[in-house]
Chains A and B, each alone.
Chain A
Amino acid sequence: GESVGLHLPTLSVQEGDNSIINCAYSNSASDYFIWYKQESGKGPQFIIDIRSNMDKRQGQRVTVLLNKTVKHLSLQIAATQPGDSAVYFCAENIRGSQGAQKLVFGQGTRLTINP
């Protein structure tokens, strides 16, 4: 079936440290993945995406790694800041017939940055 799940529901790190958030997906045919950040009371905010023809993609302080063999995604945040505190979701873009598309979200990981 379609499902995207996260290994760790909560994660606390010290400010300035690096953090890694993990995600497993089950649809081996999926070829597009996105990480979103959601702060309290707000909508999901796009962070970074990766397509299946890549293993790694880097942004500003963030890196996404994709391991298709074990169907695993990770989001690495370098030098964490208080503003990084939020819930992080991985999402898998599922394509259907006639161009239909939808995102399947994981449950989310709550990241807390300690001063």
Chain B
Amino acid sequence: NAGVMQNPRHLVRRRGQEARLRCSPMKGHSHVYWYRQLPEEGLKFMVYLQKENIIDESGMPKERFSAEFPKEGPSILRIQQVVRGDSAAYFCASSLPSWYQETQYFGPGTRLLVL
């Protein structure tokens, strides 16, 4: 499967716990994007990363949320001390390493439910 991989597909957490969402980009892609989707809404941009660099985190909440894309391994979106409002589908997308506008291809998403 050469597509974008995300895991877990479903994640249940209690308020106050930590959530870690993982994303492996398509082969050859070194740009990763995270988006959040609430029910019946469009996706909202959170963060854009390249290997070992955060390029744009303008959509990330200032507290409790962080993202990384290490030299080796998947990109991680981390949510600390989750609250019920964090319940959503989180999608990762990847694109080719180009400064031109490249198509973003999406993974299947992680559905986070905070109890």
Residues on A close to B: CB < 8 A? 4, 31-32, 34, 36, 42-46, 49, 51, 89, 91, 93, 95-96, 98-108
Contact = CB atoms under 8 A, between A and B. Distances in A.
Contacts of B44: 105
B41 interface: yes
A29 to B, nearest CB: 12
B3 to A, nearest CB: 9
B101 A98 contact: no
Nearest to B6: A43
A100 B56 contact: yes
Given A43-B109, A98-B55, A103 B104 contact: yes
Interface string B76-115: 0000000000000001010100010111111111000000
A49 B59 contact: no
B101 A95 contact: yes
A46 B94 CA distance: 12
A43 B56 contact: no
A44 B91 contact: yes
B69 interface: no
Contacts of B101: 31-32, 51, 93, 95, 101
Contacts of B55: 98-100
A108 B42 contact: yes
B22 to A, nearest CB: 15
B42 A43 contact: no
Contacts of A43: 4, 6, 91, 106-109
Contacts of B56: 96, 100-102
Nearest to B108: A43
A36 B103 CA distance: 11
Interface in B37-59: 40-45, 48, 55-56, 58-59
